[in-house]
Structure 1
Amino acid sequence: MSETLLEDLDHVGPATAQKLIDAGFSTVEAIAVSSPAELATAADIGESTAAKIILAARKAADIGGFETGDVVMERRKLVGKLSTGCKEFNDIMGGGIDSQAITEVYGEFGSGKTQLGHQLAVNVQLPQEKGGLNGSVIMIDTENTFRPERIKQMVDGLSELYGEDYDYEEFLKHIHVARAYNSNHQILLVDAASELANQLKDSDKPVRLLIVDSLTAHFRAEYIGRGTLADRQQKLNKHLHDIQRFGDLNNAVVLVTNQVMSKPDAFFGDPTKPIGGHILGHTSTFRLYMRKSKGDKRIVKLVDAPNLPDAEAVISVTTAGLRDP
């Protein structure tokens, strides 16, 4: 990452730099990937000035131009793989859940979406040789589903699994949870997450996982009826792009959970489909569908991925966490 200071950019004086930092644009990279309108509104400057600042930031951060496939391939080597704790699940994901990508999990209530979030919040803190990314977690909780007691059970499960004495309180210290009370608050929390990630960037546990559970609950509750659909989708689209940018800038895994709606007119196949429409479908890099099976078993289906075939895995949700059945 570039070490250029904001004041070093063309058209940025100390006052403008402070406005940008206050608005959450504290790094050159964050400015480089924003739009002129966004920057102009946030920092109270003209759009043409904002465009010039963004251009200068792109040059300084060395992003935004064309690059050859071999350079992209080299950068892809930086992508981390986060283990789910289940071999079959990891296999269908090509070895684990990718960083720098949005992984969306949808399913009915009780299908295990939140359980997966809790398990990843534990696993990400492990060293890489144990399938982790040696990082901390930011969780945006919209439905009050985060349970520290569940983290304790899963950490105890890891202690049994590896025969090591893990301290659950240490794990809890690296999980930063914020409760989102409405969709506007949820959107603002992504900015707050970027600031926190920036503070922890040089610590021994940088932020390597962002969880939004659930992404769509507030949008679904607040935008009712077809008349509000365009507004909702526009807002959701921007929110998703902010989340994707967070994943890219921090080389973090992004997990978002989504609710489903029932299609009573579906005579064949599964009558449940995810909400959020095409915008969510296109912006998510990986789409997973979770559904209940017998007992503690859950079926995870990879519905969409840019480089992997559709596949299914069976996992068990146990007291000790997600396990192979």
Structure 2
Amino acid sequence: MANKRVKRLKLDAAIVKRLENKNIITCKDILTKSSLELMKITGVSCKKINAVISLAGRSCCPQAQSLDRVLHGGLPMSSLTEIAGPPGCGKTQTSILLCVMAALPISLGGLDSSVIYIDTESAFSAQRLVEVAQCRFPSYFNSDERLVNLTNKVTIHNVTTCSDLLYRLQNLEEEMIRKNVKLIVVDSIASLIRKEYDNSVSGNLILRSNILSKQATQLKYLAESFNIPVVITNQITTRLKSSKHDEKTTNSYGDDIEPETFVTAALGDSWTHSVNTRLLIQYVDGQYRQIIIAKSPIAQCAAVNFLIEDKGPVEVEESLVLYNTGSMPLVAAIQVQSDVMGQQIPYQLH
């Protein structure tokens, strides 16, 4: 699409001729020039040139991915979107790609804005951010100046305690206004909670619930006040499956049977109700992952496979599965790679 001819953009014939005289033949050629350069070449106003750049950018943009279509255009504004999954499944990779998309010019399908990335695990990599940008949009990120501009648009805040995170969230408004922030990422929400609040200690569960409630309230306030998406990554945990029988049961031979367990998103049911959209990531095999829309107020439950490549998560064509019932089954076969003999564990969906 980047090699689409300028002649096919239905521009004024005089503009096309002037562009071609300067060897600007394709949409890609237009996007490698600044607005000022194009104004000098064509002799038209800034408003008209911006319209030309926007048209060329839309022509270069790939068609919306199937997951975006199911979500009616992408991540919902003014709400909290959680990405939960096992370690190494692609949560941070997805978050980094979202940073690139938010920083892209509007003409290329981005928001032309800044991002605040709150890193609780020191997982963010500026080198990976640049790699994803260069590999995914090589015709745009083709100069050091644009790459530096990208990195300047992503502000990293490293926090190490739950109180630090809450303080940071409560003091973001001025920075968001000053930097034109249109995306907040918290990676991850569970890391600090799990470090500071051991559930086996009496009273910690109440303290944990209180701090999580305050963090969720502040995140919702920022999302709604600035009409932006807020993305939060979450870890997973193993629980005992509830049963009407006693936890300790026996089979027909009288042998003890260990209670059945399942894997679910961490932080409990109260946190589940705090997020508006829940995306779950599972392993399909050693190469493929699958992202599932498990909870959404506007979208049908669906799943799509993807790969992690140099340019970030890449959707596998024709892998979309829609659940016509309107909701996911209570227990779905979401696979989690285990360190023990490669075992896989079912994932509980809420």
TM over 0.5: yes
* C-alpha separation in 1, matches of 2:133 and 2:287: 19
1:174 corresponds to which of 153, 159, 176: 153
Q: Give the equivalent residue in structure 1 for 2:262.
A: 271
Q: Which amino acid aligns with 1:219?
A: I
Q: Secondary structure at the match of 2:132?
A: helix
Shift of 1:89: 2.2
* C-alpha separation in 2, matches of 1:171 and 1:268: 50
| Cα deviations by residue, 1:106-163 (Å, 9 ceiling, x for unpaired) | 1000111011110001101123343322211001100000100100111111333x56
Percent identical across equivalent pairs? 22
Q: Give the equivalent residue in structure 2 for 1:17.
A: none
1:322 corresponds to which of 313, 317, 320: 313
Q: TM-score, normalised by structure 2?
A: 0.63
Shift of 1:85: 9.3
| Cα deviations by residue, 1:193-227 (Å, 9 ceiling, x for unpaired) | 22211223xxxxx1000000001111111111253
Preserved contact between residue 85 and residue 323 of structure 1 (Cα < 8 Å): no
- The runs of 5 or more residues in structure 1 that have no matched partner are 1-82, 201-205
Relative to structure 1, the CA distance from residue 269 to residue 288 in structure 2 (aligned partners, 3 Å threshold; closer, same or farther) is: farther
Q: Give the equivalent residue in structure 2 for 1:190.
A: 169
Q: Give the equivalent residue in structure 2 for 1:134.
A: 112
Relative to structure 1, the CA distance from residue 269 to residue 293 in structure 2 (aligned partners, 3 Å threshold; closer, same or farther) is: farther
Deviates more, 1:282-291 or 1:125-134: 125-134
Q: Which has the higher contact order (CA 8 A, sep 6+)?
A: 1
Residue 281 of structure 1 pairs with residue 272 of structure 2: yes
* C-alpha separation in 1, matches of 2:199 and 2:140: 54
Q: Which amino acid aligns with 1:289?
A: L
Q: Give the equivalent residue in structure 2 for 1:36.
A: none
1:253 corresponds to which of 225, 229, 236: 229
Q: Which amino acid aligns with 1:298?
A: R
Relative to structure 1, the CA distance from residue 85 to residue 301 in structure 2 (aligned partners, 3 Å threshold; closer, same or farther) is: farther
Shift of 1:90: 1.2
- The runs of 5 or more residues in structure 2 that have no matched partner are 1-60, 243-257, 317-350
1:91-110 counterparts in 2 under 5 A? 91-110=69-88
Residue 299 of structure 1 pairs with residue 276 of structure 2: no
2:197 corresponds to which of 219, 223, 227: 223
2:121 corresponds to which of 132, 143, 155: 143
Q: Give the equivalent residue in structure 1 for 2:302.
A: 311
Q: Which amino acid aligns with 2:309?
A: T
* C-alpha separation in 2, matches of 1:90 and 1:178: 28
* C-alpha separation in 1, matches of 2:222 and 2:62: 21
Higher Rg: 2
Q: TM-score, normalised by structure 1?
A: 0.68
* C-alpha separation in 2, matches of 1:131 and 1:97: 13
* C-alpha separation in 2, matches of 1:84 and 1:121: 18
Q: Which amino acid aligns with 1:91?
A: R
1:3-152 counterparts in 2 under 5 A? 87-152=65-130
Shift of 1:91: 2.3
Q: Secondary structure at the match of 2:137?
A: helix
* C-alpha separation in 2, matches of 1:112 and 1:310: 20
Shift of 1:270: 8.9
Q: Give the equivalent residue in structure 1 for 2:55.
A: none
* C-alpha separation in 2, matches of 1:235 and 1:120: 27
